[in-house]
Chains A and B, each alone.
Chain A
């Protein structure tokens, strides 16, 4: 059962990325981030003590981040700067290497920090560390809400 939850979370994010990638990269990257947001919502509630801590769930969050990061940088092909409602900033295409590195760092942090999680305290520390990537990437590469 626990494995199943974890696999489902990973798949949910992975599939979005793969299926929609060819057809509509803007929709795909938004779905990918939406799923990341859902995982983060779960994580935040556990870290705050608003929801009971569940080790399997906790590990699934990091696995989901890692999985999303594995494909996320591919969802910004040339030409997808516009053509739909997107908050992706031109800085992504202007600094492609730096953006790809930011995605990779997020994935790598998810892997190393996720491996340290054994209980609520280690989860809080790891979750806080990995989610620093959210704000720092959004700061540079995502437009403020319209």
Chain B
């Protein structure tokens, strides 16, 4: 009897293990997905700005926003993540990566060795990007200076150190859907939606998160506690808790110069975002503003009073 039970437990264990292994298996792009004309480096530079890669990956402690040596620490409730070196350095950076390696990182959150990335790398938004933008971005990044900064390991407690477990998280929270334009909406709205939801990854900071670390869907863009610790990230929906009083022009101008309609200069993480959005075209900033103005007004939880 006991022996049968043990066998059963062992069998169940193997089945569970196999299921875990199968469920957490990294998904990759089909190689054919990458076909296309020669990449456009100029557009890649704009995608780089829209994606805000410099905000996290710039070599820590120096001002040059094209040196992608990494080292910036991102605090989270799970531990501290350190952005890696993504400069074209052959050993320390991603200089030996193929275009497919890069596209799988950006769109699937999978490393060349087949490991899952932590969603501190906001591929939950980047998965919406078009393959052609990702190819252009990679071509542009190859033109940046190589930087020899060594990667710093993340500071995480067990079990968050087990990357394979992220497969389950991805299964639950990563839909793998590219951005799909809505033909019933104006072109500017669609362009704005793409920039905000995809490369701009605005929701990653401007939304509250559940204990799992996933964004609370019905509060998307409605603000929440700063994931990096102290303070509050504001509601950017057209709700009175948010930016209902801002005109589309106010928002577009804010993305260029960082001044709120009240004359305050934005700070914290947003100052770094503005350094990126200020490099986009006026039309792209206006498109982002049009999309934000058209979001459903969502109530944000009131920030705690001091």
Contacts and interface: CB of A to CB of B under 8 A. Distances in A.
A47 B304 CA distance: 35
A41 B234 contact: no
B253 interface: yes
A85 B234 CA distance: 19
Interface in B256-306: 256-259, 261-268, 271, 303-306
A50 B249 contact: yes
A40 B265 contact: yes
B245 to A, nearest CB: 13
Interface stretch (A1-9, A21-29, A131-139): A131-139
Contacts of B264: 37, 40
Interface residues of B, number: 24
Contacts of B40: none
A144 B265 contact: no
A38 B264 CA distance: 8
A42 interface: yes
B265 A138 contact: yes
Interface string B175-191: 00000000000000000
Contact of B267 (A37, A42, A44, A135): A135
A63 B60 CA distance: 37
A146 interface: yes
A67 interface: no
Contacts of A36: 263
Contacts of B268: 139, 144
Interface string A31-74: 00000111111111001101000000000000000000000000
B259 A40 contact: yes
B151 interface: no
Interface string B38-62: 0000000000000000000000000
Contacts of B261: 41
A53 B126 CA distance: 41
B69 to A, nearest CB: 22
Contacts of A145: 231-232, 234, 303
A15 B261 CA distance: 24
Nearest to A49: B253
B305 A146 contact: yes
A144 B262 contact: no
A143 interface: yes
B80 interface: no
Contact of A134 (B249, B253, B265): B265
B249 A139 contact: no
A41 B265 contact: no
A88 to B, nearest CB: 12
A44 B257 contact: yes
B74 to A, nearest CB: 16
Given A40-B263, A139-B268, A143-B231, 19 more contacts: A37-B263, A37-B264, A38-B262, A40-B264, A41-B259, A42-B263, A44-B259, A48-B256, A48-B257, A128-B257, A131-B265, A134-B265, A135-B258, A135-B271, A144-B232, A144-B267, A144-B268, A145-B231, A145-B303
21 contacts: A37-B264, A39-B263, A40-B259, A40-B263, A40-B264, A41-B262, A41-B263, A42-B263, A44-B253, A48-B256, A50-B253, A128-B257, A135-B266, A139-B268, A142-B267, A143-B230, A143-B231, A144-B230, A144-B231, A144-B268, A146-B304
Interface of A: 36-44, 47-48, 50, 85, 128, 131, 134-135, 138-139, 142-146
